[in-house]
Amino acid sequence: MSHKRIAIVTGASSGMGKLLAEGLPQHCALEEIWLVARSEQRLFALGEELPVPARIFPVDLTREGCLAPLRAQLAEEAPDVRVLINAGGFGKFERFDRIAEEDAAGMVDLNCRALTLLMHAVLPYCGAGSIVVNIASVAAFQPVPFAAEYAATKAYVLALSRAVDRELRPRKVRVLAVCPYWTKTAFFDRANRESVITRFDCMYDPAFIAEKTFRAMKKKKDYVVPGFVAKATHMMTKLLPHSLVMKVFIAQQKLKNK
């Protein structure tokens, strides 16, 4: 029996996840795409547009037991998962002690826990040549005051992705962490509503990040930092002491003295 070749994309209702889901059929032969996010209508609308059949999983990934429907479908059909993209995520830019408890828990639950459990649930269905793409951030490379917890969750994503990539090499399954700089998406409606960060020096187009992601998926990299400004920031965090890099970040904060 041949197993259906599928991709699973979280965060597919918006931003980078949506663009990656839209572009995937041009980059790999798929028979179905499974779309995951909370906004059912948006997932249906995207599913209608895709050139391959889509299956919709309208779930809040921070809820206990939220992966049960997806796990059940995997167990029933044993598909060949060619691609898993974890693009569901959010951040709150605020002094840590001012972040609402729900958001403090939510960032860890979505950015770390859900991503981990999805990888764990899906990897048994990944054969040679499959790839897991986890959207981390340039924030993953150093502590970031006023985005402290968000950056810490992305450091987790980067470290997990790179190490699991090494572990899975004998199986020929790859894990790629994508580390974008600021990118123009709905992310900021949630992250920075109170305008804690006042100067976004550069904003990338999410289509550019998606294109660089597809390119990196074809190479043997375990992480990619798309774009010149992103690469320069990454380099700065490698060369300079983190205490100095944090000073630069703090200079961007409106609330630094409050």
Ligand X SMILES: NC(=O)c1ccc[n+]([C@@H]2O[C@H](COP(=O)([O-])OP(=O)(O)OC[C@H]3O[C@@H](n4cnc5c(N)ncnc54)[C@H](OP(=O)(O)O)[C@@H]3O)[C@@H](O)[C@H]2O)c1
Structure tokens at 103: 């958001």
CB of 170 to ligand X, least distance (A): 29
How far apart are CB 21 and ligand X at their closest, in Å? 10
Q: CA-CA distance, 148 to 141, in Å (whole number)? A: 12
Size of the site for ligand X (CB under 6 A): 26
Using left for φ > 0, alpha for ψ between -120 and 50, and beta otherwise, residue 208 falls in: alpha
Q: Which of residues 26-65 bind ligand X (CB under 6 A)?
A: 37-39, 60-62
CB-CB neighbours of 142 under 10 Å: 20
224's tokens: 């990619």
Nearest approach in angstroms of CB 194 to ligand X is: 17
Nearest-angstrom CA–CA distance, 163 and 153 = 16
Task: Give yes or no for a contact between 46 and 52, defined as CB atoms under 8 angstroms apart.
Answer: no
Closest to ligand X by CB, 13 or 130: 13
Strand partners, 32: 6
8 is an interface residue for ligand X by CB under 6 A: no
Of residues 47, 91, 226, 227, which one binds ligand X by CB under 6 A? 91
**Residue 13 in the binding site for ligand X (CB under 6 A):** yes
Q: In whole angstroms, give the CA distance from residue 246 to residue 240.
A: 10
The two most distant CA atoms of the chain are separated, in Å, by: 64
**Residue 144 binding ligand X, by CB under 6 A:** no
**Which of 130, 142, 161, 183 touches ligand X (CB under 6 A)?**
183
Which of 79, 88, 226, 227 is in the footprint of ligand X by CB under 6 A?
A: 88
* Binding interface with ligand X (CB under 6 A): 11, 13-17, 37-39, 60-62, 87-91, 110, 135, 137, 180, 182-183, 185-187
